[in-house]
Amino acid sequence: MAIIVTGASGLLGSALGQALRDEGREVVRLVRRKPQGPDEAFWQPSEQVIDLSVLDGAEGVVHLAGASIGDRRWSEAYKRELVASRVEGTRVLVDGLREVATPPPVLLSASGVDFYGDTGDREIDEDQGKGTGFLPDLCERWEAEAVRAGEAGIRTVRLRTGLVLSRKGGALGRMLPIFKMGLGAPLGSGKQYWSWISVDDWVGAALHVLRNPDVTGPVNFTSPSPVTNTEFTRTLARAVRRSAMPIPVPAFALSLGLGEFAREGLLPGHRVLPRKLADSGYRFAHSSLDEALRAVL
């Protein structure tokens, strides 16, 4: 019985894969190239191809695949890839899960707190509805494909992940060189809330959810203490022993430099609380940003 992981080479997939192997669990990575051993199997979501034999009787599936949201400027073609890699990828996987004789009991499927759009400084939890914009629409379509696994009787958890703090990449990996040069600055008004989670807690929460049969539906993967962008900037600058620039980067300059990603990914605020993780008894290793950055860096 193996746990099947898509997007296994990514920031979260590699961290979770390692943690599962450390627990003595068997992990099979679904890869989009020729498999290189018994712990890899083939899928090519863009061609609707998937190796059903590894899904049949698996212990669980963790689906993390998707073209990177923050690595490059969004052209219209790249936006189509962001959507296709998630919506069609999830469809291919879930079609496969619905087809096998013995489907796994649980699917963890990635999503993001971007689902909520801009919700200002109000605290929100999983009951909050979808926001407006490209990313909320993308998350809705992505999650709708995962929900089809739930309809087929597979416990399905949609991981509404916030900004994951890891030294190895993601948003923090991109910000670190700038902050280390003393050039970190608040973005736009700086008042927008950023909901973050340390990579250790993301992995811990994923293991908790895999083990806990009562957890289902959308689950916020964020720490209990989201902070404003200004607070985030100050805390990160302190963590790398530099000062932050006193003048914020204006929203128009961010839009000019980073395009739609700035307007969708950096400037909207969501103050997201992890109600379902807390209610199901998950204990965070890092609840304050200061502590999390110290651990991560």
Ligand X SMILES: NC(=O)c1ccc[n+]([C@@H]2O[C@H](COP(=O)([O-])OP(=O)(O)OC[C@H]3O[C@@H](n4cnc5c(N)ncnc54)[C@H](OP(=O)(O)O)[C@@H]3O)[C@@H](O)[C@H]2O)c1
Alpha-carbon distance 81 to 280, whole Å?
A: 35
Over the window 69 to 98, marking each residue x when it contacts ligand X by CB under 6 A and - when it does not, the resulting string is x-----------x---x---x---------
Q: What is the distance between the alpha carbons of residues 193 and 42, in angstroms, rounded to a whole number?
A: 39
Contact call for residue 218 and ligand X (CB under 6 A): no
**Position 64 contacts ligand X (CB under 6 A):** yes
Instruction: Select the residue interacting with ligand X from 60, 112, 136, 269 (CB under 6 A).
Output: 112
Cα 143–158–69 angle (5° rounding)?
65
In degrees rounded to 5, what are phi and psi of residue 57?
A: 80, 10
Q: Give the SS3 label for residue 195.
A: coil
Size of site (CB under 6 A) for ligand X: 26
Q: Which of 17, 66, 131, 188 binds ligand X (CB under 6 A)?
A: 66
Say which residues have a Cβ less than 8 Å from residue 16's Cβ, sequence separation at least 6: 5, 62, 64, 202, 203, 206, 207
Distance, in Å, from the CA atom of 5 to the CA atom of 13, rounded to the nearest integer, reads: 7
* Smallest gap from residue 12 Cβ to ligand X (A): 3
Residue from 3, 4, 8, 124 touching ligand X (CB under 6 A): that is 8
CA 257, CA 26: separation in Å to the nearest integer?
Answer: 44
CB nearer ligand X, residue 97 or residue 110 = 110
Smaller CB distance to ligand X: residue 172 or 240?
A: 172
CA 222, 223, 228, 232 torsion: positive or negative?
negative
* CA–CA gap between residue 177 and residue 119 (Å, rounded): 30
Comparison of 45 and 96: residue with beta carbon closer to ligand X: 45
Nearer residue to ligand X within complex by CB, 82 or 101: 82
Say whether residue 209 binds ligand X (CB under 6 A). no
Q: Taking CB under 6 A as the criterion, which residues in 168-187 touch ligand X? A: 170-171
For the chain, how many residues are written?
A: 297
The nearer residue to ligand X, 118 or 243, going by C-beta atoms, is: 118
Closest separation between CB of residue 243 and ligand X, Å?
A: 26
- Asked if residue 244 binds ligand X (CB under 6 A), the reply is no
Is 45 a binding residue for ligand X by CB under 6 A? The answer is: yes
H or E, element range at 53: helix 52-55
Q: Interface with ligand X by CB under 6 A: which residues?
A: 7-13, 31-32, 45, 64-69, 81, 85, 89, 110, 112, 161, 163-164, 170-171
